[in-house]
Amino acid sequence: MDDVVTRVARRVAEVLARSPAEVKPESRLMTDLGAESLDLVELMFLLEQEFGIRLSREDLSLSAQLGLTEEELRSGEVLSPKAVALLRERFPAAGDVLHEGVTRRELAALLTVEEIARSVRNRLAAPGA
């Protein structure tokens, strides 16, 4: 594990009261580790402290990062084929989640420790982070 992933995993374990061994880079926060909304808010806060950055909800919201409007994102109740295609490009290893007809809520399964570390790295690299 690289340093950022290790540090994120440690904070995830702390917020969810898990042993560090239970939290792996590929662990899915909401579906594997059972994180709820306030857990995510606490985690964002701790990561801001840990890395000296400022995260917004968008940093953890995968749909917001695709750069699609609300209309483009959905097709009726499920994600639009365009959104699914973009997500598959972005998450090549998440074929099991990104099936045809995936719903917005199911995207929660994409939020992994690794993905959060990636957002943190992006913030660290951004000017003014």
Q: Which is nearer to other proteins, 66 or 108 (CB)?
A: 108
Site residues for other proteins, window 38-67 (CB under 8 A)? 38, 40-42, 45-46, 48, 57-58, 61, 64
- What is the rounded distance in angstroms from the CA atom of residue 75 to the CA atom of residue 4? 36
- What is the rounded distance in angstroms from the CA atom of residue 52 to the CA atom of residue 125? 12
Could you say whether residue 129 binds other proteins (CB under 8 A)? Answer: no
Cβ 119 to other proteins shortest distance, Å: 15
Could you say whether residue 31 binds other proteins (CB under 8 A)? Answer: yes
- Amino acid identity of residue 19, one-letter, is S
The residue written with tokens 């950022």 in the block is 4
Candidate list 20, 89, 93, 104; residue touching other proteins; CB under 8 A = 104
Could you say whether residue 86 binds other proteins (CB under 8 A)? Answer: no
Instruction: Show Cβ contacts of residue 21 under 8 Å, excluding neighbours closer than 6 positions.
Output: none
Given a contact cutoff of 8 angstroms between Cβ atoms, the answer to whether 17 and 95 are in contact is no
Cβ 104 to other proteins shortest distance, Å: 4
Q: Which is nearer to other proteins, 81 or 104 (CB)?
A: 104
Tokens, residue 35: 């994180």
